[in-house]
């Protein structure tokens, strides 16, 4: 395929080759697209309430002679689903796959917020969902770069493209359009506007023939459909799949692969620098070249090729994403490949309208007035009087029953029930219920209404999921265009800080983060505010100053200053309380330590007293033994002295000694009990001595 530089106003051979390719694709798809365009147009006219559509699709309806009433319930159902999506819009944010990529992801999120807020992207998303997915079953959101206000980096914007203004591959199956062979769209511009797009060819553009260009390709577009049209230029963008030669650098050991963007000299210099700074990588790098799928663009002005070029946004993908309704990619019936919610409800809408009109005709066909006998009224013309206060004068010979009002036959209740049944069937086919339309009037419990609303949303979940996928694809395209087209200065101005080194890396979007949907807020700070509030509800230590910093308040600086002062005063008071508590804790600790030390001294004193008591007891026991020994000696001496006495004297002496011993035994027992682990046995020396002496 073509991989050279852009070709402006190519020669006859290149121009012929491009035109042949375009005409071939047109011939391949036009029969299928005509069927899809026709049904999409009918669906749109049903939603708009076009009265002339009945006779075109339902033969036998005599609406060419007169207008019939149209009671449009399809538009209300479509607006109900669209309103729910508008009420629950989601924002496009970047979330990190690893925690180390948090800062870069936040910076990309700031850029996405800037783009969406500047071009009104969320309104375009909702319009595309209503007009594309719900009504016609298919639409496109195109991402482009506007150089009007920023001729260096450009401003990234989006627009909705109707399916009837596109020629696309009817055999495409993937939501990201990676297998769609071509996508051809047309816009109409004034001459000056088209010349501003390519100022270097201003003279050639202004020299194009006068009058609006018209052919047989996009005949459902308003500029072509009308007989009279202004002086416009047809601006066609023909995107098609192609290939380009890509250079990949591979690490032989880890088999890590990365595409290198640059020429041969830059590649050699990069590898030489790598080997010089990291010798361990020497002879590990391998360079291969492989064809890589890409997308090219051809611009045609009034059926003349202006330029054929590589993707001007630096992408290898289509700069658009389809907005799908009920998508059945593998069906052989192309009329039903793309369907909205209107397609299946067209018959019930027609039958409801037919029944309603017929019932009104029945009521209108009944005559209202008076029936009277001839000559019953004095003045017959009085029966034609209208309004309040009219008087009928009867002839004196007439009876009151001669003049009676004509009875009106009320409509059959079965007809009313049929109308309600057809209306309910229409809403049932679409998948809507009265809870989603906020029109439930019956008294139900709140939980029951929530369950019914959830059941209705479950039937429509596919539509919302595919819209989320479309928004994610558009976010991916925006991030790639930011990395490819925005300068360092513009990124810094948008995010308000220095971009991280990974900001421009293609691998970061592939491995470091991903685009997903979050809660819709006006700015990233509002999203952060909601996250902080949720964290505070869970009990996280979030200060009020942090929350107020993210809020949009009038005179926020003054309010924040007051809050900071209050927080500082509260912090100082809390610090003083903490210091007092610390001092009290120190006093309590000192008291406890002093008490412990006094208890230790008391215990030591008690131990010393025990030892002293032991010594005193030992001394007392020793003295007691000495006293006993002295007593025994004195008794022996006494016994010696009484040896010469007679028996009576001896018996009397023994009795005296026995009494003395009995008197001494209680004192000895008391002393033995007071001794420390010592016992004193009664001395038997005196009896032995006495007996021995005898």
Q: State pLDDT tens for residues 652-679.
A: 767 777 777 777 666 665 665 565 444 4
Tell me the two tokens of residue 234. 């047809």
**Residue 75 confidence (pLDDT) above 80:** yes
Angle between the 12-48 and 346-365 helix axes, to the nearest 10 degrees?
Answer: 40
pLDDT in tens, 420-441: 899 889 988 988 776 665 544 4
The CA distances from residue 362 to 61, 95, 411, in Å, are: 17, 63, 8
The alpha-carbon radius of gyration of the chain (Å, integer) is 53
Maximum Cα–Cα distance across the chain: 193
Contact (CB, 8 A) for 233 and 205: yes
Give me the pLDDT at residue 655, please: 79
pLDDT in tens, 498-545: 998 888 777 777 777 888 877 676 555 666 777 777 777 777 777 766
Question: Domains in the chain: how many in total?
Answer: 1
User: Which is more confident, 394 or 474?
Assistant: 474
User: CA-CA distance, 349 to 343, in Å (whole number)?
Assistant: 10
Structural domain contains residue 684: yes
User: CA-CA distance, 161 to 332, in Å (whole number)?
Assistant: 25
Structural domain contains residue 672: yes
pLDDT in tens, 407-418: 777 778 888 888
Structural domain contains residue 635: yes
3 state DSSP class of 184: strand
3 state DSSP class of 667: helix
User: Which is more confident, 238 or 636?
Assistant: 238
Q: Output DSSP code: residue 654.
A: H
3 state DSSP class of 176: coil
Structural domain contains residue 288: no
**Residue 3 confidence (pLDDT) above 50:** no
Give me the pLDDT at residue 177, please: 94
Contact (CB, 8 A) for 217 and 168: no
Q: Is the CA virtual torsion 8, 9, 13, 14 positive or negative?
A: positive
Structural domain contains residue 674: yes
Structural domain contains residue 573: yes
What is the extent of the structural domain holding 667?
Answer: 560-693
Contact (CB, 8 A) for 140 and 166: yes
pLDDT in tens, 585-609: 888 888 888 888 888 888 888 888 8
CA 367, 370, 371, 373: dihedral to nearest 10 degrees?
-160
Burial tier of 635 (Cβ tally within 10 Å: 0-12, 13-18, 19+): buried
How many other CB atoms are found less than 10 A from the CB of residue 670? 9
The DSSP line for 442-473 is S---HHHHHHHHHHHHHHTHHHHHHHHHHHHH
Q: Which residue has the tokens 């620098």?
A: 273
First-last CA distance in the chain: 152
Structural domain contains residue 37: no
- Model confidence, pTM: 0.72
User: CA-CA distance, 190 to 211, in Å (whole number)?
Assistant: 10
Structural domain contains residue 614: yes
């Amino acid at each position: 395929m073509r991989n050279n530089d852009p070709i402006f106003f190519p020669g006859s051979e290149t121009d012929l080759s491009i035109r042949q390719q375009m005409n071939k694709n047109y011939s391949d798809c036009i029969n299928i697209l005509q069927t899809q365009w026709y049904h999409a147009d009918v669906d749109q006219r049903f939603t708009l309430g076009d009265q002339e559509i009945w006779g075109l699709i339902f033969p036998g309806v005599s609406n060419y002679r007169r207008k019939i009433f149209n009671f449009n319930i399809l538009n209300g159902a479509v607006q109900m689903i669209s309103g729910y999506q508008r009420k629950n819009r989601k924002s496009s944010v970047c979330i990190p796959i690893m925690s180390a990529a948090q800062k870069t992801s936040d910076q990309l999120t700031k850029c996405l917020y800037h783009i969406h807020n500047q071009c009104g992207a969320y309104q375009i998303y909702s319009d595309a969902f209503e007009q594309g997915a719900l009504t016609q079953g298919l639409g496109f959101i195109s991402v482009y770069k506007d150089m009007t206000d920023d001729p260096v980096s450009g401003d990234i914007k989006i627009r909705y493209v109707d399916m009837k203004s596109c020629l696309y591959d009817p055999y495409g199956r993937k939501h990201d359009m990676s297998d769609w062979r071509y996508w051809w769209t047309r816009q109409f511009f004034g001459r000056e506007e088209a010349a501003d797009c390519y100022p270097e060819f201003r003279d050639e553009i202004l020299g194009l023939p006068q009058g609006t260009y018209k052919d047989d390709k996009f005949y459902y577009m308003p500029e072509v459909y009308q007989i009279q049209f202004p002086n416009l230029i047809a601006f066609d963008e023909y995107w098609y799949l192609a290939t380009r030669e890509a250079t990949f650098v591979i690490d032989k050991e880890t088999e890590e692969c990365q595409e290198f963007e640059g020429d041969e000299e830059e590649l050699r210099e990069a590898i030489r620098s790598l080997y010089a700074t990291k010798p361990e990588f020497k002879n590990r790098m391998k360079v291969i070249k492989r064809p890589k799928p890409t997308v090219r663009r051809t611009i045609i002005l009034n059926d003349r090729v202006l330029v054929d070029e590589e993707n001007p946004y630096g992408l290898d993908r289509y700069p658009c994403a389809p907005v799908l309704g009920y998508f059945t990619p593998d069906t052989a019936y192309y009329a039903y490949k793309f369907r909205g919610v209107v397609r299946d409800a067209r018959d019930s809408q027609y039958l409801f309208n037919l029944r309603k009109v017929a019932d009104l005709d029945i009521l209108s066909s009944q005559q209202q007035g008076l029936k009277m006998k001839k000559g019953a009224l004095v003045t017959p013309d009085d029966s034609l009087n209208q309004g309040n206060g009219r008087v009928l004068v009867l002839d004196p010979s007439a009876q009151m029953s001669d003049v009676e009002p004509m009875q009106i036959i009320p409509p059959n209740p079965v007809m009313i029930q049929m109308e309600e049944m057809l209306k309910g069937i229409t809403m049932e086919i679409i998948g809507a219920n009265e809870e989603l339309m906020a029109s439930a009037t019956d008294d139900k419990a709140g939980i029951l209404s929530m369950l019914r609303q959830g059941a209705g949303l479950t039937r429509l979940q596919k539509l919302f999921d595919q819209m989320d996928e479309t928004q994610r694809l558009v976010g991916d395209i925006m991030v790639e265009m930011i990395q490819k087209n925005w300068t360092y200065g513009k990124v810094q101005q948008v995010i308000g800080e220095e971009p991280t080194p990974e900001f421009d890396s293609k691998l970061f979007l592939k491995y470091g983060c991903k685009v997903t949907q979050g809660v819709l807020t006006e700015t990233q700070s509002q999203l952060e505010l909601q996250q902080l509030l949720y964290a505070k509800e869970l009990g996280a230590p979030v200060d009020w100053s942090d929350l107020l910093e993210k809020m949009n308040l009038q005179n926020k600086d003054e309010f924040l200053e007051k809050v900071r002062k209050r927080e500082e005063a509260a912090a100082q008071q809390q610090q003083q309380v903490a210091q007092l508590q610390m001092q009290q804790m120190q006093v309590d600790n000192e008291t406890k330590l002093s008490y412990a030390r006094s208890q230790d001294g008391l215990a030591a004193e008690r131990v010393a007293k025990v030892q002293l008591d032991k010594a005193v007891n030992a001394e007392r026991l020793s003295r007691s033994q000495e006293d006993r020994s002295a007593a025994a000696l004195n008794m022996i001496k006494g016994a010696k002295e009484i040896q010469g006495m007679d028996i009576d004297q001896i018996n009397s002496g023994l009795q005296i000694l026995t009494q003395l011993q009995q008197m001494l035994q209680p004192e000895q027992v008391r002393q033995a009990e007071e001794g420390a682990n010592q016992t004193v046995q009664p001395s038997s020396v005196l009896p032995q001595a006495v007996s021995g002496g005898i």
